[in-house]
Each structure stands twice: as structure tokens, then as C-alpha cells.
């Protein structure tokens, strides 16, 4: 799909930003470039759509040398998303989404249909098409920026720190949403970031650069388990949980398989009985097919006991959950950032599979630091 062959970029002042870079990116692969400031990651990405010219070597897209293609047509054939979003303030959301289609002289019907189709991908109401950028939140605007990059159905999308300016919670949400979208649409992504957690979460392959050269290019798991050198170790950060327990990498490896639940239509009286019997102060709510619908806690019941009958009437439907194959490291950060007591684990169909609690994570941390606890018991026994 995309290939860098001995690519070098030298500037007129003698600075070499990229040195003899070689890399192949497969169709449908999500590749994150990361490294310290000035390492050449953004320059590498901008050479792909010729925003920066190559000094030596060649870049091939579907076996075609980009230097032999018209630069404007090349850019229109690729998606491009930047941190600043770059929505046109005087254009409606629909006009922003299909901007490239307008440049390609698509008929109105085609543009309207494509805009509606894309908005559905990110679960935004159709009436947003007539709004203007200033009427949307930062996260919503960034979603539109992503949709605009998808509008002409490009096989390759370039993304330059697209979520960097967002608050942590919105950023988490957009990362989850975009990764799911990328899998569904099978797009090839070149993604530049300075955030190692983001790279490890999103990428199929992480490319770590330093001084214009690739230091290591591998899967997130292999990079964390087998860093190429001391620079990679330092860049990863020695405090990462996964470094202490390379055998534990995903949520499903530590989740508890039978969280306490109630079904929709359960009465509040019955929910209270379940809480008392199970010694918990909140319950996950599922339907008859075990699809996660929400949660209810003792506070919500207390506030609504006299004016509601069923858990459906008072449950909170906005539930932060993770997939079983989510990286454990990323889930730890989210739990701590949100101050959550637990996180439900679901499958692709949102069926409840398990739960990760703070207590589970605490036990893992203890095991990481002190092993299985036998050393402590042996020491205590020796003291006696």
C-alpha cells in the first residue's frame, strides 16, 4: 500500500530531518509514528502527500511514485486530519464534510447522501448537517474533521496529532470511536502522535523515531516486551505497569467473569435486595440478551425510590466500558483518570463479559512489586 524507499529530507540550512528511511505499510494497517520533538515524524508524514518535498529516495502509494503524480490530485486522493481541525467557519457541517467532493465537482445529491451516511458512522443527529462549526463542541468538531477525511473514501488517511488539543475524557472517547471505525472501514492510517499511551492503544505497529531515523518499528506488545535499546526503554517509561508483568497485557486476562447484574424491568425493591445480598452499592443493568444497558447505584435509588418503580426509570445509560482485548495499561489510566470504582468489559456487540475493579488492579500492582506475596509471608514467619 505505502512504501518508503531510502527516503531522506535535507533542508537548505543543512539540517537533515529524515535519514534513509525504509518502511512498508500494508493495506488496512494502522501505523503510529512517535518520538521526541524534532525526530522527523511529522516531516515523514507530510512527505507522503507532498506538503514537504523529498530530497532523496521515493515514496510509493499502490506502487506509484508520488513524485510522478500531480500534487493537488494526490492530496485530494488522501484523507488528512490535523490537530487544529481546520473546519471552514462560514460553511455548514455538511459543506465542510463534502468539501473535497465539491472540489471534485460531485453533484448535490451525491454530496448530500455522503454527508448523511458519514454522520451516521459517528452517531451524530442528521440535523447537525445544517449547523456551523461554532455550534459544536471541540470533540464534535474533531469528529467532523475525521469525517471530512473519509468523504471521498480514500484508502490512505494521514493524521497529525488529531486528538492532542482535546480534554482527556473526550480524547479517550474519540480514540475508541476512531479505532472501531478504522477496523470497520479497513483504512490505512499514518498517525503522528507524541503520546505513547495513544500510540500503544491505537496502532497495529508503532514506529519510534530519533534524529530522523527509525529506532524500532513493531507491534505495541513487542515494543513493550522487547524494547530495542535503552532509548526506547526510557521513551516508554519504566513506570508502565506492563513492564513489570509482560505476561498480563489485556483486560480479559484479569477481569472477573461474573459481575453482579439485574435485568431491565427489575423493580427497585428487588434491586435493593440484590445489593444487600451481594454486598455492593451499584449494579450493572443488562437486557434479556445480556447486552449492557446501564447501571444503577444506591444513591440513584435513594433519590427516586418514591417516584419510580423499575431500574429502567432511574438507571444511568452512559456507561464507560472497555473491550476484552483492550490494553490493560490503557484501562488502568482511564480508571484512575475518571476516578471509577470499576469498568464493565464488553464484546463487540456490547454483551457484558466481565468487570475490572480497582481491587483487581491493586492486586496486580502488589503482584508486580512483591511477586505473589510469598516473600512477605516468609519474612513474617522468619520474624516470628
CA distance linking residue 151 with residue 185, whole number of Å: 12
The per-residue pLDDT for 360 is: 72
CA distance linking residue 248 with residue 368, whole number of Å: 10
Handedness of CA 163, 164, 168, 170 (dihedral sign): negative
The per-residue pLDDT for 244 is: 45
| Domain-wise residue ranges, the chain | 2-244, 251-369
State the chain's mean pLDDT as an integer.
Answer: 84
Percent of the chain with pLDDT over 90: 34
Q: What are 106-137's pLDDT values in tens digits?
A: 999 999 999 988 888 888 888 999 999 899 88
Q: Indicate the SS3 state at residue 227.
A: coil
Does the pLDDT of residue 381 top 50, yes or no?
A: no
- 69 CB-near residues (< 8 Å, 6+ apart): none
| Region 84-92 average pLDDT | 84
Q: Is 192 exposed, middle or buried (0-12, 13-18, 19+ CB in 10 A)?
A: buried
Q: Indicate the SS3 state at residue 132.
A: coil
| Greatest mean pLDDT among 175-184, 261-270, 303-312, 368-377 | 261-270
Rg of the chain, C-alpha, whole Å: 24
CA distance linking residue 24 with residue 34, whole number of Å: 16
The per-residue pLDDT for 369 is: 44
CA distance linking residue 121 with residue 275, whole number of Å: 38
The per-residue pLDDT for 14 is: 87
Nearest residue to 189 via CA among 179, 174, 201: 179
CA distance linking residue 249 with residue 246, whole number of Å: 7
Q: Could you give the count of Cα atoms lying within 13 Å of 330 in the half-sphere of its Cβ?
A: 28
| Strand arrangement, sheet containing 16-25 | 16-25, 2-10, 56-61, 64-65
The per-residue pLDDT for 225 is: 77
The per-residue pLDDT for 374 is: 41
Backbone dihedral angles phi then psi of residue 89, each to the nearest 5 degrees? -65, -25
Domain 251-369: CATH superfamily, name plus number:
CBS-domain (3.10.580.10)
Does the pLDDT of residue 383 top 60, yes or no?
A: no
CA distance linking residue 162 with residue 85, whole number of Å: 7
For cell 505473589, what's the residue? 372
Overall CATH class of domain 2-244: alpha beta
Provide the pLDDT confidence category of residue 48 given band limits of 50, 70 and 90.
Answer: very high
Residue length of the chain: 384
| Greatest mean pLDDT among 22-36, 158-172, 211-225, 304-318 | 22-36
Do residues 2 and 8 lie in contact, with contact meaning Cβ atoms separated by under 8 Å? no
The per-residue pLDDT for 241 is: 42
| Region 34-46 average pLDDT | 92
CA distance linking residue 49 with residue 153, whole number of Å: 16
Does the pLDDT of residue 182 top 90, yes or no?
A: no
Q: Indicate the SS3 state at residue 14.
A: coil
Q: Global pTM?
A: 0.64
The per-residue pLDDT for 21 is: 96
Percent of the chain with pLDDT over 70: 90
If you ran DSSP here, which 8-state letter would residue 145 be given? H
CA distance linking residue 15 with residue 4, whole number of Å: 20
Amino acid at each position: 500500500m505505502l512504501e518508503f524507499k531510502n527516503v531522506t529530507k535535507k533542508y537548505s540550512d543543512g539540517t537533515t530531518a529524515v535519514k534513509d528511511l525504509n518502511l512498508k505499510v500494508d493495506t488496512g494497517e494502522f501505523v503510529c509514528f512517535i518520538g521526541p520533538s524534532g525526530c522527523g515524524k511529522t516531516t515523514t508524514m507530510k512527505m507522503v502527500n507532498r506538503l514537504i518535498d523529498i530530497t532523496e529516495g521515493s515514496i510509493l502509494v499502490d506502487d506509484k511514485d508520488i513524485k510522478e503524480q500531480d500534487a493537488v490530485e494526490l492530496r485530494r486522493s488522501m484523507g488528512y486530519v490535523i490537530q487544529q481541525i481546520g473546519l471552514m467557519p462560514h460553511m455548514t457541517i455538511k459543506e465542510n464534510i463534502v468539501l473535497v467532493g465539491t472540489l471534485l465537482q460531485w453533484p448535490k445529491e451525491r454530496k448530500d447522501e455522503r454527508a448523511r451516511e458519514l454522520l451516521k458512522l459517528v452517531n451524530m443527529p442528521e440535523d447537525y448537517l445544517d449547523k456551523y462549526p461554532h455550534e459544536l463542541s471541540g470533540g464534535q468538531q474533531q469528529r467532523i474533521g475525521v469525517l471530512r477525511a473519509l468523504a471521498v473514501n480514500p484508502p490512505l488517511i494521514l493524521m497529525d496529532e488529531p486528538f492532542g488539543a482535546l480534554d482527556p475524557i473526550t480524547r479517550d472517547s474519540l480514540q475508541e470511536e476512531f479505532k472501531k471505525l478504522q477496523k470497520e472501514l479497513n483504512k490505512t492510517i499514518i498517525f503522528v502522535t507524541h503520546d505513547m499511551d495513544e500510540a500503544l492503544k491505537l496502532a497495529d505497529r508503532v514506529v519510534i523515531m530519533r534524529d530522523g531515523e527509525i529506532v524500532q518499528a513493531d507491534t505495541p506488545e513487542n515494543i513493550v516486551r522487547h524494547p530495542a535499546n535503552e532509548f526506547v526503554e526510557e521513551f516508554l517509561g519504566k513506570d508502565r505497569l506492563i513492564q513489570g508483568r509482560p505476561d498480563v497485557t489485556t483486560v480479559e486476562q484479569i477481569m472477573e467473569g461474573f459481575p453482579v447484574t439485574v435485568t431491565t424491568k427489575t423493580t427497585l425493591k428487588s434491586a435493593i435486595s440484590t445489593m444487600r445480598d451481594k454486598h455492593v452499592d451499584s449494579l450493572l443493568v443488562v437486557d434479556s440478551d445480556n447486552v449492557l444497558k446501564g447501571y444503577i447505584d444506591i444513591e440513584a435509588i435513594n433519590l427516586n425510590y418514591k417516584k419510580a418503580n423499575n431500574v429502567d426509570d432511574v438507571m444511568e445509560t452512559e456507561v464507560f466500558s472497555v473491550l476484552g482485548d483492550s490494553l490493560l495499561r490503557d484501562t488502568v489510566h482511564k480508571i484512575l483518570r475518571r476516578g471509577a470504582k470499576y469498568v464493565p468489559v464488553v464484546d463487540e456487540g456490547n454483551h457484558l463479559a466481565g468487570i475490572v475493579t480497582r481491587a483487581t488492579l491493586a492486586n496486580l500492582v502488589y503482584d508486580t512489586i512483591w511477586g505473589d506475596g510469598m516473600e512477605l509471608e516468609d519474612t513474617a514467619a522468619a520474624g516470628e
